[in-house]
Amino acid sequence: MVHTHEHAHAQNGSQRRLLAALVLTSAFAIFEAAVGWFSGSLTLLGDAGHMLTDSAAVGIGVAAAWLSQKPPSARHSYGFKRAEIIGALINVLFMVAIVVAIGITAIDRLLEPQPVAGLAVIIVGFAGLLVNLLAVWVLRGDSESLNVPGALLHVFGDLLGSVAALAAGAVIWWTGWMPIDPILSIFIGLLILVSSVRLLREILHVLMEGVPPHVDLDEVARAMVSVNDVVSVHDLHVWSLGSRACALSAHVRITDMRCWPTALDLLKNMLGNRFALTHTTL
């Protein structure tokens, strides 16, 4: 009971950290997009799009943490763990749309350069750097939730985008060379595209019910056969219900059916403790 209480307390703490980071990055992304629009800076618009997509990713983590606590029902026997995957798919499609829009606009700006308010870009880029550093400070040192390290990766990406915006503003302010703005916006777009492709690959793997990356199916089978009274294992399947929840089903052959209750307990305990597979059907 104490362990369960501590786990729930840590989970709530992780949710609060994620919510704080979500508010910080979302509020600044909206402000940055507005300044980018009025100043004519495609770099600011691109960085704002990057921050908004990262904020959406953090928001998905918050929503998933909340939905995962809802119990299964007659209509949703697995609960709502897949909601995170569906949200992530929507998020990655939104990312790709932003990359396409940034790329098309950047090419137009390279062909026909337009004036950009360099000082505004410098100020907002520096402010974005401070906001992202604050978000890192909020998320630091939390390893209870897998969503937090993922959010940190997104924030570090936003830090790079803020540095790019600062560089674009500085070049425009001191040299007046306008092409730097669309060039750096394309660079930010490529950052978004790389993370989008990686995320899409993970989403499709889950939707295709692939074996989770951290699970070695052969190792699981060998561990199961090593349990007392287990002769062999066949029709072994492991798949993801969500980002952290995995399920396993298998047919187990044993020496004597009278040994089954004991063997079943040993198998479930071993799968839960060694492989974090707690939703098992044997």
Q: Cα separation of 188 and 165, whole Å?
A: 9
pLDDT in the model for residue 255: 93
CA distances 262 to 55, 68, 150, 220, 228, Å, are: 48, 31, 39, 19, 9
Q: Cα separation of 223 and 216, whole Å?
A: 11
Alpha-carbon torsion (72, 75, 77, 78), positive or negative: negative
Domain boundaries, the chain: 2-207, 217-281
pLDDT in the model for residue 8: 46
pLDDT in the model for residue 144: 47
pLDDT in the model for residue 14: 62
Q: Which CATH architecture has domain 217-281?
A: 2-Layer Sandwich (3.30)
CB 64 within 8 A of CB 242: yes
DSSP run (H or E) holding 253: strand 246-254
Q: Does domain 2-207 have CATH number 1.10.150?
A: no
CB 192 within 8 A of CB 99: yes
**Residue 251's beta-bridge partner residues?**
234
What pTM was estimated for this model as a whole?
0.68
206 Cβ partners below 8 Å, 6+ apart? 85, 239, 240, 242
pLDDT in the model for residue 6: 42
pLDDT profile of the chain (282 residues), mean per 10: 43 66 82 82 73 73 70 80 74 77 83 76 83 80 53 69 80 85 81 79 86 90 94 94 82 94 95 90 94
CA dihedral 52, 100, 168, 149 (to 10 degrees): 40
CB 267 within 8 A of CB 252: yes
